Structure 1
């Protein structure tokens, strides 16, 4: 395989573990695959109506299958946009809210639905306007990195230098060019060296950081660069963080105007321009009579070899194939899954997945008051804020002059999120306001709040049990087992026919592109099992997987 992109091509989520061009596969005029006529209309169960479930169901419908979506909670999964009561469409993004431009398969669907996007107000970006960094009681105001004290620039330079110790520029250039042999060779050499080492170990032992003080590492952990602090990820394997920065997940991010939940909801209602078997105008909504099936409580192999799915109300239906897109812990806590459907090694991977906690607290305010200029300082009244205080990250969302706006008072992960867990919304807001008052002593944030707060702790939701996966050292083997499960020709008959998708199945958890790509893997696997074939000039992930799939480490 020769490079397929120029040297200055943008960074995309192209691998690195499996460098397959999902965006090109989706755009091909001949489509993803064709099925035998006898397979048309076949029912396929899809468990979970998050973005992975909706993408898979939408593409399976286009192939002429009849997806049957089951959802126990809310359609959209962790793309959850909740409107403030009386807020005229003003929303809080409780799950995914910032989407890197490198997520080209996800943006295929964003563009298909005609949704608008704009830059996300991350720290030190033009979209944020201004940023305040508050550490150890000292507050720094800036519009760019250059305006911060030298220690912050030293930390940023050390991070860039540390990445170069891993050959970062060469890796990213191979990724830009989609030079598959070079990218695979470079990445596969790193996997066995770094799978069992933590992110913090890498930072502390790198030549770039080891010559600096502990204070530099502390700043990197508390506020970091790009999307904020990195300390919540310090226990994770370095490989997970390296993927994030290599594929541009932490930069050039966008929000979806009107809310990210429009993507899964839009796919539910969208009539494809090209569709097999079904009449023009068919949508997932029309195939379902307007609503999904109830949640799933059990999955087992029926006596005829098909897979039986039991829903909340005890109704059982059988299917030739089933796609499960919920978080893997639910396969032992919410759904009674017959143990023989997966190998014990795969069960180990599914059970050992570690989920990270996440908490957000939002309020609606009467207007974007933070843009008022303080006459004494000439600065914005309030800014996007990173701090070591309880709030950690505070984000400001402007809907136009004199229009209701949104404050994400606190966005925190792991132990910081757990501090919020026992508290009701009003207490969470008060805790956040108390912290922010110390940063902005002259700003009466509370006087601008209108309506009721909106808050979430994903670990407290029984249908999620956490926000997203965070792979620990030694978990590469588990990820490789889950990700490659869509390749089922070599599996025993008892383990075929049940597929997995979702960001926790991917190598890039917490990023929606991982959910989309694994959904597309499952589409290929289901089509293949039902006798389908990809066009000769548009081979799918299954055709490429044997040659360029993730490296397998020895057990």
Structure 2
């Protein structure tokens, strides 16, 4: 496996996750020598309760510690959140990524922290990429093999061309050019026109009504949904607002993706033990772990406004503490289903947005195998015996992870979403493996996958986890206003006093759900909000997201 650290500095003219809703240069903000800002000396040591030790929580906690505040992290289970890397027993460094597993290089803020803690990355084996080696598309009972799109039947190229042409008809290249140039005026002009047009329309509506697809037989549209291109099939996203999909493609989230060598969970765990910089008021060597005696506090059961205006936090075991501010990085539904909150902490409009947020179901099942046997060459065909597999069968997507010729490999037998994920929900891990092997056996009848399995398999259904209730937000048509309410919440200057001091972050608060970059960017928004809540400010040479919010704010469609 070829590994390398990610490029921290954007190459000239590259597409990054710069907006499109809020085109603030987070990567420049992070790299600036002046730092993110400062708080008054009197505020140093003020405590901030961090609800959740996922990526957003740990990024925010680390940066708040850098400012001289004292983050207190509450976590009910384990550090990492939906960056959950399962290490197989007895196989050092051989992992299954149960949560986030592929990270687009356009996510510069994510890779800023990955580089900061010394993580390596490698190309992710997406279909029809060099990292996959071989791709197998099985649809309608027919199986096709190829390493590039050109090696597949021409109808697959026709589908890809129809998708590209459909995007171009709504200004895809012009938007990407504005992102490359970081031309805020041009980007906002283009994007703000699309928001009211596509907020109320589904992804499927876009595909079905596009002349580029409607001129083709229905089966082409069906192929696009079932196997797609880039990261796989798109049909689980068909009910979502088209805006969700546009954000993904214009920022290249679906292309040029990398995995984190040794597991993505290392990022939040290494942030937990990363010492403060020399800029911080805390003594040299201070870490989040040292501030917590090595372990986070138990999960939060209640958040109330204390009599003195601060926040009374009760953990799951009944212990209570008072904090000066709160940052909730848990998924929004948990604030109504699992955490007892004063209703007055948020406006009724914001509560509506939190409750109406819709999370997508997702399931994965992994096995460790003795070696990357899929690279063996079939003498009858001259091809590898298996490839990265896209299919309309139960497994939908099967990914192969090669850790080297002398090390065990890992197979993600099945990666499914929504109704396909629900098909797996009632079954234990062994039955999920059996179902997957049965489906794959129809594609690879001469390959005995099970004879290579070693160790215990592992599976996840995110909707069945009481601390998550789903994989990530999938906005439905008409949800833009809800997202707008959540996203702008970190700018609290005009809010009633009863609603100030509690902040939110996480990919579900962002306009980029499901991408780690959204978690990082909203964490940085919250850091700015908390810093200013304590009377602090960004350096004049490095204004923060709240300083320029009025100029760059996402378009407001009104209520």
TM-score (norm 1): 0.98
1:50-97 deviations in whole A, cap 9, x for unaligned? 000000000000000110000011110000001111122211100000
Number of the residue aligned with 2:557: 553
Question: Contact 1:132/1:141 (CA < 8 Å) preserved in 2?
Answer: yes
Offset of residue 368 of structure 1: 0.2
Alignment correspondent of 1:85: 89
- Residue 15 (structure 1) aligned with residue 19 (structure 2): yes
Tell me the residue number matched to 1:489.
Answer: 493
Q: Does structure 2 conserve the Cα–Cα contact (< 8 Å) formed by 1:64 and 1:278? A: yes
CA distance in 2, matches of 1:18, 1:388: 37
Q: 1:37 aligns with which of 35, 38, 41?
A: 41
1:451 aligned to which of 455, 459, 470? 455
Matched, 1:325 2:329: yes
Deviation for aligned residue 1:192: 0.6
Q: How far did residue 7 of structure 1 move?
A: 10
Change in CA separation of 1:30 and 1:203 when aligned onto 2, cut-off 3 Å: same
- Runs (4+) of structure 1 exceeding 3 A deviation are 5-8
Out of 227, 240, 247, which is 2:244 matched to? 240
* SS of residue paired to 1:55: helix
Say if 2:300 is the partner of 1:265.
no
Please say if residues 7 and 176 of structure 1, whose CA atoms lie closer than 8 Å, have aligned partners that are also in contact.
no
1:67 is paired with a residue whose SS is: strand
Distance 1:451 1:548 in 2: 51
Asked if 1:426 is matched to 2:430, the reply is yes
CA distance in 1 between counterparts of 2:339 and 2:134 reads 47
Match of residue 389, structure 1, among 393, 412, 420: 393
Mapping for residues 27-426 of structure 1, pairs under 5 Å = 27-426=31-430
Q: In the aligned structure 2, how far is the partner of 1:58 from the partner of 1:268? A: 8
Cα distance in 2 for partners of 1:480, 1:465 equals: 22
Take 2:457 and 2:243, find their aligned partners in 1: how far apart are those partners? 37
Maintained 8 Å contact 2:66/2:277: no
Verify: 1:539 aligned to 2:543, yes or no: yes
Corresponding residue SS for 1:363: strand
Residue 308 of structure 1 deviates from its aligned partner by: 1.0
1:272 Cα deviation from its structure 2 partner: 2.8
CA offset at residue 8 of structure 1? 5.5
Q: Is the contact between residue 171 and residue 186 of structure 1 (CA under 8 Å) also seen in structure 2? A: yes
Q: Which stretches in structure 1 are left out of the alignment for 5+ residues?
A: none
Contact 2:489 2:504 in 1 (8 A): yes
In 2, distance between residues paired with 1:162 and 1:244? 15
Q: Which runs of 5+ in 2 are unaligned?
A: 1-8
Contact 1:7-1:173 at 8 Å conserved across structures = no
- Which range is displaced more, 289-298 or 268-277? 268-277
Q: Where does residue 5 of structure 2 map in the other structure? A: none
| Residue correspondences, number | 551
Counterpart CA distance in 1 for 2:361 and 2:455 is: 27
Partner SS, residue 161 of structure 1: helix
1:302-356 C-alpha deviation (Å, 9 max, x unpaired) = 1111111110111111112100000000001110111110000000000000000
**Distance change >3 Å, CA 427–CA 448, structure 1 → 2:** same
Residues 9 and 383 of structure 1: CA distance in aligned 2, closer, same or farther (over 3 Å): same
On the 8 A contact 2:47/2:72 being kept in 1, the answer is yes
What secondary structure does 1:541 align onto?
coil
Deviations 1:395-415 (A, max 9, x none): 000110031110000000000
> Contact 2:119–2:260 (CA<8 Å) still a contact in 1?
yes
Which residue in the other structure is 2:475 paired with?
A: 471
* RMSD over equivalenced CA pairs, Å: 1.0
